[in-house]
Structure 1
Amino acid sequence: MIRHAAHPMLAAMFVAAGYGTLMDPERVAAKAEPVVDAVSRRVPGVPRDAVTAVRLNSAVQIVAGTLLSLGLMPRMSSAALAGTLVPTTAAGHPFWKIEDPQDRARQRIQFLKNLAMFGGLLLAATEPRRHHRGGVRAALARR
């Protein structure tokens, strides 16, 4: 198995943030409520309760981040992480709603950071499969 060197670096933030939010979902549930409400009305299966939705989002981040850091199912785990980043960013960093110039600037930076991570996840999700001569199939074929 060939693992891209950037995958663990990209995944670490999701595992850490997902764990922190899973342990204390109420910390972000109030900010997430408008996004959860909008998404749950349009997407079947999304919980209507903000705390439950935040926990689910966090669990996906932990599992997909761990898989990505281990190089397991990197395209699928990257796509899952990208999916969690959209509502997280919309709920957590709506800089366009903030009046205070300093707070608006801080939230814009966080929004742009998440946008850059989203781009990295899309690249990881769409990178072509890498084939190599080693691995399980080659080892079994040599027997």
Structure 2
Amino acid sequence: MVFRKLARPLLASAFITRGVDALQHPGTRIPAAQKFSESVAEPLGLPQDPELLVRVNGAVMAGAGALLALGKMPRLAGVALTLSLVPATLFEHRFWEESDAEVKAAEKKQFFGNLGLLGGVLLASLDTAGAPGLAWRTKNAAHVASLESQLAAKNAASALSDKLPF
């Protein structure tokens, strides 16, 4: 559908531009990455270099955004963008910690804007373009296998009863 071919690149553009910006200018994101590093990266054994974390996150956003824009591996791209966006949102836009009203309003706007992007990514990555999804195909295959085994059992019973002399 033409809308799908237009919608994915439009959504992906936000991630590509943010990712490229994080790669080129990591400085403003380093304090949030430091908080992430102390809270999450250190216990998980991830690198504790905040600038490296910002650049890796930027590369993930740009790369996964490009995949989403091209319609290549949209589910994998969606997972990567989700894993990239959630920590970035939670650690960069902590509006609840702000005391200045203007800063708080700006951070709140960014936070909820990111939630909107997250919703778009989830929709785009779950979109099957009209084809049945993996869950439906799995359930359907199990149902067909069950019907086939029931039919085979009936045929076997019928064949056996035809051979019995009584």
Question: Shorter chain as normaliser: what TM range?
Answer: 0.7 to 0.9
Aligned equivalent of 1:35: 36
Within 5 Å, give how 1:85-100 maps onto structure 2. Answer: 85-100=85-100
Structure 1 segments of 4+ aligned residues over 6 angstroms from their partners: none
| CA radius of gyration, larger in | 2
Asked if 2 retains the 8 angstrom alpha-carbon contact of 1:65 and 1:81, the reply is yes
RMSD: 1.9
2:9 is aligned with 1:8: yes
CA gap of 1:39–1:2, structure 2 versus 1, over 3 A, is farther
Deviation at 1:3, TM superposition (A): 7.9
Amino acid at match of 1:87: P
Deviation at 1:104, TM superposition (A): 0.7
CA gap of 1:13–1:89, structure 2 versus 1, over 3 A, is same
Aligned equivalent of 1:102: 102
Question: Share of identical aligned residues, percent?
Answer: 36
**Separation of aligned partners in 2, 1:103 and 1:41:** 29
Question: Structure 2: 5+ residue runs without aligned partners?
Answer: 132-166
Aligned equivalent of 1:74: 74
Within 5 Å, give how 1:21-60 maps onto structure 2. Answer: 21-44=22-45, 46-60=46-60
Asked if 2 retains the 8 angstrom alpha-carbon contact of 1:2 and 1:71, the reply is no
**Separation of aligned partners in 1, 2:35 and 2:7:** 33
Deviation at 1:86, TM superposition (A): 0.9
**Separation of aligned partners in 2, 1:47 and 1:41:** 7
Whose helix proportion is higher, 1 or 2? 2
**Separation of aligned partners in 1, 2:94 and 2:73:** 31
**Separation of aligned partners in 2, 1:100 and 1:73:** 42
Count of aligned pairs: 130
Question: Structure 1: 5+ residue runs without aligned partners?
Answer: 132-143
CA gap of 1:3–1:63, structure 2 versus 1, over 3 A, is farther
**Separation of aligned partners in 2, 1:40 and 1:111:** 21
Aligned equivalent of 1:119: 119
CA gap of 1:2–1:51, structure 2 versus 1, over 3 A, is same
Aligned equivalent of 1:20: 21
